Structure 1
Amino acid sequence: MVQPMIFTSTSVGNSAAPHALPSLREVHPMPVKAVRRTPPPNKQASSKPTPAQPAAPPPVFQPVRTRRGFEAVCDQIRQQLARGELRPGDRLPAEKDLAEQFDISRSGVREALRSLEAAGLVEARTGIHGGFYIHSGNSSGLTQTVQDLVSLGQVSIANVTEARVELMKVAIRLACARATQQDLDAIEVDIEHHTELFREGHGSRNTKSVIEFYRLIARATHNDVIVMMVDALSELIRALLARVDPQPRKDIMQVRRKVLALMRERDAQGAADAMELHLRHVSDYLESENRKTERKRKMAA
């Protein structure tokens, strides 16, 4: 039987000695079955392995008093994720139960869950089995974080475009070495699909699928971290380009076909050079348009 998750209560701004609330086990002690102790086996008489030890009880978290309650809730859930005590697909306790275990208000629990949802760690589900579940993970939180830093002026567009160019060079080198035939075929299918869309006049940077090409190259590396980083930066660049010019370059499919041909030949250097040239053209264009926008904004001020 799976033991219930136990979170410690969270006190905020209390300088007195901590007074820990009793855990669920202290309130409802479980009966303990007596275990007969046997003497250690005779090394000469037996070579049988010792029986497996019973699983250790869930850890008890320490109260956090120096932060707001919702931040402590987020921290403890993240700690359980890091230790593997919570896994993708696990359902968190109900809001009321979390409030009781953490000894904070339900509004504090809701704020924590919203924060974790925005970070992509949990997802809300509706229906009979509704509630908050540990998410399988995606790059949406990373994309939003970088977007916020750009909006706040902490990160420049030039920083983002440079990072993307260098990251894609690494990705395409790894993909040339690791891509399976299925990986390469998937890239070709995507190129054919978007070639048809552009021919019919439906190709646009407002469509998120336009960056699927880069995602597929990243997936061909078989490195999940690279997949998330490429996805995040590609989506950010797509959104920025869509603001200034929703129509991609006319030769974009020709460039992609060239990159794929070099990948099929396992020419990592050639594929990386072709990708770098293409992305630097995109970066230069984006930075140029951004400077124009800034000048117009200053003139209007």
Structure 2
Amino acid sequence: MFRQAKQSRVYQDVVEQIQEAIVTGKLKTGDQLPAERDLKERFQVSRGTLREALRVLEQKGLIEIRTGVAGGSIVKGVGTEQVSASLALLIRYKKVSLQNLAEFRIGLEGDVAALAATRATAEDVAKLKALLAKASDFFQKGPDFWDSFIRTDEEIHLGVAETTRNPLFISVLESLSQNIHTYYESFLPRDEALLQENHQDMIQLIAAIEAGNAEEARRVAREHVSRFNSYMEQKGVS
């Protein structure tokens, strides 16, 4: 399965060979990589180089390195988790601008909302309405609960993504909903009129999804993201 690593870029070559074996299915989820001594011989690399390569694979989420008697390198496989982790880091540490984030979200969340409107079941709608009731309750309780209101709004965005049944949309929106709070804390004004507007957007979006109106759902989602991004940009330059 493996050959001697190219000496010009040793650890990268080890990473690429093991990664290729996982992606192509030669190594499957749950498989254990050969012992360290065996891998060193197959790749003709030092212990330090091999361990560096294994650390990179672990950071990519492709393997899990376990210690102890039953330890070793276990294949985790390829899934949406790798995409989510990379996106989460970009958002959490504000490595993309508000404008970049808005451009990405306007198209994405518009499409997700439209697709959700065509696929939502009665159970999906009930779940979204329950989240809306929860958000409404937090909003009505006043400023001390507005942070909880915003976090419930993030849950609604994720709930809409889950309604699409598309694992890529779900993975990306999960990363957004779990990490975008750092932008809100820095740039989103906390006033009652703005949050009331946010609440009204939620009501309109869920109503469009319940009615199966894809274009209305798309419009509400796109306008919501665009409008609230403009509020954050205004605060960011003030």
Structure 1 residue 7 and structure 2 residue 31: aligned? no
CA contact (8 A) 1:204 1:246 kept: no
* Separation in structure 1 between the aligned mates of residue 126 and residue 67 of structure 2, nearest angstrom: 37
TM-score, L = length of structure 1? 0.63
> Is contact 2:80–2:168 with CA below 8 Å preserved after alignment?
no
2:208 pairs with 1:262: yes
How many angstroms apart in 2 are the aligned matches of 1:127 and 1:289? 52
TM-score, normalized by length of structure 2? 0.77
Distance 1:96 1:202, change over 3 A: farther
Identity of aligned residues (%): 28
Deviation for aligned residue 1:146: 6.5
Give the alignment partner of residue 116 of structure 1, picking from 37, 52, 57: 57
In structure 2, do the counterparts of structure 1 residues 106 and 229 end up closer, same or farther at CA, with 3 Å as the change threshold?
same
Larger-Rg structure: 1
Paired residues in the alignment total: 229
244-253 or 264-273: which moved more?
Answer: 244-253
Q: Work out the CA distance in 1 between the residues paired with 2:61 and 2:152.
A: 21
Question: Structure 1, residues 109-161: CA drift from partner, whole Å, max 9, x if none?
Answer: 3322332333333344567655443155411123335777x63xxx5431221
Give unpaired runs (5+ residues) of structure 1: 1-5, 14-66, 293-301
Question: Do the aligned partners of 1:160 and 1:233 also contact (CA within 8 Å) in 2?
Answer: no
Higher helix share: 2
Cα pair distance change 1:262/1:129, threshold 3 Å = farther
Structure 2 residues without counterparts, runs of 5 or longer: none
Task: Provide the residue aligned with 1:70 in structure 2.
Answer: 11
**What's the RMSD between the two structures over aligned residues?**
3.3
Quickly say closer, same or farther: Cα 1:7–1:170, change in 2 above 3 A: same
Match of 1:37 in 2: none
Paired residue type of 1:275: A
- Mark the CA change 1:173 to 1:76 in structure 2 (over 3 Å): closer, same or farther: same
Paired residues of 1:121 and 1:137 also in contact (CA < 8 A): no
Counterparts in 2 of 1:253 and 1:103: CA distance versus 1, 3 Å: farther
2:165 paired with 1:222: yes
